């Protein structure tokens, strides 16, 4: 599906797409390369995808960069991933700012290396004025952890006398790191795996899911277009159902 095709029917395309960028390690292993090379190529795929997203009518992109569980990986791999964050922000921040991209980082700040935390703060502050496109990076993020943190905020507010009454979905949602972002329309996972892996558990409630058999370093505009096309062919009812206009139509449908 081309960007031009989506542009002619924007009402059917997703506005907010979330990506589980899976397959960097396998991409490198199949080529006899160290895993870090897969992560580096994955950064190139991210650049291609960010650039292509607006052409498909996408206005918000949320990417799973580093999970709370990823700290258990070998120390050298974690160090390489942190290095890529430093490199990406250092080389791309000014370009993204100039392109009207607002960067928002989801997840826990505590536990991050001091310089990474400073980079995160700088990226958010430097692009806070932009409103053309929202790029959310889930970093040191886990869906369960985010829900636990939101619940803890309500507990703290209750103890401080700032919150009373029964907890609503809106109350809990307001405490998530994604609060204020548009609803997630489409969640895409690459590499052929078919699970969410603790990503956007609350936000996924009515999102469409697409699983693509492509390793993340090979991703780009064409693969994103295929995911958008699959989404556009689906009918979203949010738990409801189509209602036939009259009894005659209902009878006809039953025959």
Question: Do 64 and 138 contact (CB within 8 A), yes or no?
Answer: yes
- Angstrom distances, CA of residue 208 to CA of 13, 19, 169, 221: 12, 12, 21, 19
139 within 8 A of 89, measured Cβ to Cβ: no
Task: Name the one residue in this structure whose structure tokens are 């921040």.
Answer: 93
Q: Which residues are catalytic?
A: 22, 70
Q: Phi and psi for 106 in degrees, rounded to 5?
A: -95, 150
105-143 per-residue burial string, b: 16 or more CB within 10 A, e: under 16:
bbbeeeebeeebeebbeebeebbeebeebbbbbbbbbbb
What single DSSP character describes residue 139?
E
Strands 133-141 and 101-106: parallel
Distance between CA atoms of residues 169 and 199, nearest Å: 19
Residue the block writes with tokens 């989506």: 6
């Amino acid at each position: 599906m081309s960007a031009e095709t989506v542009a002619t029917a924007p009402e059917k395309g997703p506005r907010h797409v979330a990506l589980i960028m899976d397959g960097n390690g396998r991409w490198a292993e199949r080529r006899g390369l160290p895993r870090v090379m897969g992560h580096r190529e994955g950064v190139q795929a991210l650049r291609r995808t960010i650039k292509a997203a607006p052409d498909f009518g996408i206005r918000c992109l949320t990417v799973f960069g580093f999970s709370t569980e990823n700290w258990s990986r070998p120390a050298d791999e974690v160090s390489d991933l942190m290095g890529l964050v430093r490199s990406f922000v250092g080389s791309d921040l000014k370009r993204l700012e100039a392109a009207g991209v607002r960067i928002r980082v989801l997840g826990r700040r505590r536990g991050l290396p001091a310089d990474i935390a400073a980079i995160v703060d700088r990226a958010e502050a430097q692009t806070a004025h932009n409103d053309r496109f929202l790029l959310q990076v889930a970093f040191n993020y886990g869906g369960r952890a985010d829900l636990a943190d939101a619940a803890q905020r309500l507990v703290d507010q209750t103890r401080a006398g700032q919150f009373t009454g029964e907890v609503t979905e809106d109350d809990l949602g307001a405490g998530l790191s994604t609060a204020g972002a548009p609803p997630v329309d489409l969640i895409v996972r690459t590499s052929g795996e078919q699970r969410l892996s603790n990503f956007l558990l609350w936000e996924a409630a009515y999102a469409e899911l697409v699983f693509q058999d492509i390793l993340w370093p090979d991703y780009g505009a064409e693969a994103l277009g295929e995911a958008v096309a699959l989404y556009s062919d689906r009918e979203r009812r949010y738990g409801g159902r189509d209602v036939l206009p009259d009894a005659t139509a209902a009878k006809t449908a039953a025959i």
